[in-house]
């Protein structure tokens, strides 16, 4: 799944949390490892498509904010992850933290936590 970044929140105390944005330090898009499926509802014949983003342990950059992060694939790994053929080496080894030195993080506006808010200024600090 292509993405420009992701958010995680610190939980400084039970009533206070701060959002942080994470992206690639080179400014490029990232790709999350996902599992996708589709099934046909026998009751109405409609197809349902769904996916889940796979997470892994946090790297050194995300660890102070959260204990997990999405699995981010390097471009050279895309074809291997997407290959549908059975192989002697499943891509399980790709399910690891992305290198922290290739990422950046910054605190963002708290309004990012409300799905009704959708503007570029949400990436502005506090």
Predicted TM-score (pTM) of the model is: 0.86
Evaluate the CA torsion angle 25, 120, 75, 61 in order and state its sign.
positive
Q: Which two tokens stand for residue 31?
A: 């790709």
CA-to-CA dists, residue 110 to 21, 54, 113, 118, angstroms: 11, 25, 6, 12
| Residue 126 pLDDT level (bands cut at 50, 70, 90) | low
The per-residue pLDDT for 11 is 81
How is domain 2-123 classified at the architecture level of CATH?
Alpha-Beta Complex (3.90)
Tell whether the model's pLDDT for residue 125 goes beyond 90.
no
Tell whether the model's pLDDT for residue 62 goes beyond 90.
yes
Tell whether the model's pLDDT for residue 37 goes beyond 90.
yes
Are the C-beta atoms of residues 61 and 103 closer than 8 Å to each other? yes
The per-residue pLDDT for 119 is 82
Q: Which two tokens stand for residue 34?
A: 């996902």
Are the C-beta atoms of residues 61 and 21 closer than 8 Å to each other? no
* SS3 at position 27: coil
| Residue 77 pLDDT level (bands cut at 50, 70, 90) | very high
């Amino acid at each position: 799944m292509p993405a420009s970044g992701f958010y995680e929140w610190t939980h400084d105390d039970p009533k206070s949390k701060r959002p942080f944005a994470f992206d690639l330090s080179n400014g490029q898009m990232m790709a999350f490892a996902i599992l996708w499926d589709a099934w046909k509802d026998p009751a109405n014949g409609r197809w349902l498509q769904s996916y889940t983003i796979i997470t892994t342990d946090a790297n050194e950059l995300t660890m102070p904010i959260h204990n997990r992060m999405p699995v981010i694939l390097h471009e050279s790994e895309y074809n291997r992850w997407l290959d549908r053929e059975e192989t002697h080496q499943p891509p399980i080894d790709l399910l690891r933290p992305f290198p922290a030195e290739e990422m950046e993080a910054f605190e963002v506006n708290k309004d990012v936590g409300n799905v009704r808010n959708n503007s570029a200024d949400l990436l502005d600090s506090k």
